[in-house]
Amino acid sequence: MDCIRIRGGNRLNGTIPISGAKNATLPLMIASLLSRETLTLKNVPNLADVSLLKRILGNHGVDHTVRGKRSAQEVVAGETVELSAREIVDTTAPYELVSRMRASFWVIGPLLARMGEARVSLPGGCAIGTRPVDFYLHGLQALGAELSVEGGYVEARAPKGLVGGRVIFPRVSVGATHTVMMAAALAKGETVIENAAREPEVVDVAECLMKMGAQIEGAGSREIHIEGVPSLSAAEHSVLPDRIETGTYAMAVAATGGEVTLTGARPDLLRAALDTLVEAGIDIAETNEGVRVARNGGPLKAVEVTTQPFPGFPTDLQAQLMALMARAEGTSHITETIFENRFMHVQELSRLGADIRLDGQTATIRGVEKLTGAQVMATDLRASVSLVIGGLAAEGETTVNRVYHLDRGFERLEEKLSACGAEIERVRA
């Protein structure tokens, strides 16, 4: 099993290109199921989750071609992927595929809307919490779906097609918003989604659906209105830049010192996180190329953060911020409100010398003078990259094991960091 070896202490200087957003790419690819015509997606990142979803969609009959494949040295431009779901050959999403990536459960919406039926495995457990699919199912029922759960599979039917309705989510859910919005695009009549997720990735999917001919208003607000249409057509869409990757590299620069321009980054997508870095003493500047991040010798200041749905501080940057605050002056507090088990990185950061105490869903981080390299183990995607940040800031050598988690969401991370002066390498098993 591969690992990543880091020798810490080097400042980061240079340029890091920001890839297309994984959290937008996956639902955009699933949206291809809604049309018989080709959906062309640009700026698609080369990630393990993207490759797996290509296989999952292929199981349903979606053909894909990749244009603009890059050499190992090219990390600037994303790939262009053409997805064609001219014929849906199977409306079952089997357990062996869905269990490997929760987002694949979202195929239930487009399959049900277009084919009038879907049989999709329940996704099972998740390392960072239970993440139930109840909201998804209640939303589809509000559109007239007949649902049952048998043998670990959701059996969904709408033999006469879905019908618009009012969907009220008791809690904000990005996945449920994606699923219901896609299903409603082909439903008869108007659908209103209340307490919808406002994340930029939801807006990106809505913009793509509108290019395909969907009638959607209000994406990015608490209430989304969708007027169903009989069919959707071909379209071309470029995936928005990854705000989580942007925040991650910004925190890496903050942890090591130096100055890096994150090209292609959009600061409007992660204003709360950038404001937190400014509060911590980091210089953030918007440029024509993206975002410039600099820390030139000044101390890190402790911060107080609570994760919230967009536009609040994202849960997907919580672990990275914790690694950064391990070296801050004073005491920081980070409260996690989205997922109940998202502090599994704490023990591994402690192996580097971090002083972190947990009290329920709040972590108290007392800054230390130095971190020291050690063997650590990744437990999930965001936890794994927090250990990379810790290793970059630590003295000596750090080895991060189980880096297959990283490959799910960070494209060529070690290449991007080493280009800016980090001493980091992947060690093949």
CA-closest candidate to residue 200, choices 50, 315, 345, 310: 310
Helix (H), strand (E) at residue 30: helix 22-30
**Alpha-carbon distance values, 271 to 64, 201, 265 (Å):** 35, 15, 12
Q: Does the annotation list 5 as a binding residue?
A: no
Alpha helices in 106-228 (DSSP H): 108-115, 134-142, 174-184, 200-211
User: Tokens standing for 413?
Assistant: 């991370």
- Using CA atoms, how far apart are residues 360 and 94, in angstroms rounded to an integer? 36
Q: Does the annotation list 338 as a binding residue?
A: yes
SS3 242: coil
Which residues are known catalytic residues? Answer: 126
Q: Does the annotation list 296 as a binding residue?
A: no
Contact 162, 187 (CB under 8 A): yes
- Using CA atoms, how far apart are residues 363 and 38, in angstroms rounded to an integer? 47
- Using CA atoms, how far apart are residues 67 and 381, in angstroms rounded to an integer? 27
Q: Residue with structure tokens 């080709």?
A: 38
Q: Does the annotation list 70 as a binding residue?
A: no
Q: What is the DSSP letter of 291?
A: E
Q: Does the annotation list 102 as a binding residue?
A: yes
Contact 290, 319 (CB under 8 A): no
Cβ partners under 8 Å of residue 117, min gap 6: 91, 111, 156, 157, 158, 159
- Using CA atoms, how far apart are residues 349 and 365, in angstroms rounded to an integer? 11
Backbone dihedral angles phi then psi of residue 47, each to the nearest 5 degrees = -130, 160
- Report the binding-site residues for phosphoenolpyruvate: 22-23
- Report the binding-site residues: 22-23, 102, 316, 338
- Report the binding-site residues for UDP-N-acetyl-alpha-D-glucosamine: 102, 316, 338
